Amino acid sequence: MSTARRDILSIGLEGHDQLNAELGGGFPPGSIVLMEGDYGAGKSALSQRFSYGFTQEDTTVTYLSTELTVSGFIDQMHSLSYDVTSELLEEQLLFLSADFDSGGALRGNDNKERKELLKRLMDAEAMWEPDVIIIDTFDAILRNDPKFESLVRNDEGRQAALEIISYFRDMISMGKLIIITVDPSTVDDDTIDPFRSIADVFIELEMAEVGSETRRSISVKRFAGMGEQVGDSIGFSVRSGTGIVIESRSVA
């Protein structure tokens, strides 16, 4: 384990990659991290890297995925050289799958459960017990909650977002770190802007096609409570058998 500052939650793996150093030594507890990026930008790969790194620093994690099953998650982590089998068995890492059916609804036994997706999320006490809660992707939760969708249709999306934010604030007041990923192409700005405004750490993931290569980068828009200096733009790649690899860095 590293000798990280106690007021910063290290994402570890200093001997594996340089991501922890590039992000100033980790994230401050009691914070909301918003990570935006289009499909394929690396939201899930970075979320998985964060979750694995946290557990290597004895930080407990909940990882809620709207895309992967338990076996799919284990296989994905193994392919990135992030073996979490023991962490799952020892309950240092809690993995939850939001199992959407082909119609986009959360599988459940009755319509009431489907209509109260966000409420069920906030009522799931075990999910919020660990130090870090990662929701990947949060926009899928919003889009598949019929009640939230109805509010958006009635131009009340901002108010609905503020109610969720109020719950998040209650959690971070207890020192929890909440990391949410969003594909901005799937939700309107009125819905996501409140989350952008309150996020202590706001990260945009960018992609650019250069020849036959796809270059990805982490663009840091806001980073409150940083440990050390944080790069404004951090180039990275995702490699099978290795995981996240830092390619370049720039500081304004």
What CATH number is attached to the domain comprising 30?
3.40.50.300
10-19, 152-161, 208-217 — most confident range: 10-19
Give pLDDT, residue 187: 86
> Does 36 reside within a domain?
yes
Would 5 be classed as within a structural domain? no
Residue 10 lies in a domain: no
Number of domains in the chain: 1
Considering only CA atoms, which of 80, 24, 87, 83 is closest in space to residue 244? 80
Question: What is the mean predicted confidence (pLDDT) over 173-184?
Answer: 97
What is the extent of the structural domain holding 78? 19-250
**Dist CA 42 CA 57 (whole Å):** 23
Report the percentage of the chain scoring pLDDT > 70: 85
Contact between 64 and 93 under an 8 Å Cβ cutoff? The reply is no
Asked if residue 14 is part of any domain, the answer here is no
Identify the CA nearest to 229 among candidates 220, 218, 216. Answer: 220
Is 13 part of any domain?
A: no
Q: Name the pLDDT band for 155 (thresholds 50, 70, 90).
A: low
**Beta-strand relationship, 213-223 and 93-97:** unpaired
Residue 245 confidence (pLDDT) above 50: yes
Largest Cα–Cα distance of the chain, in whole Å? 53
Q: Which residue has the higher pLDDT, 249 or 212?
A: 212
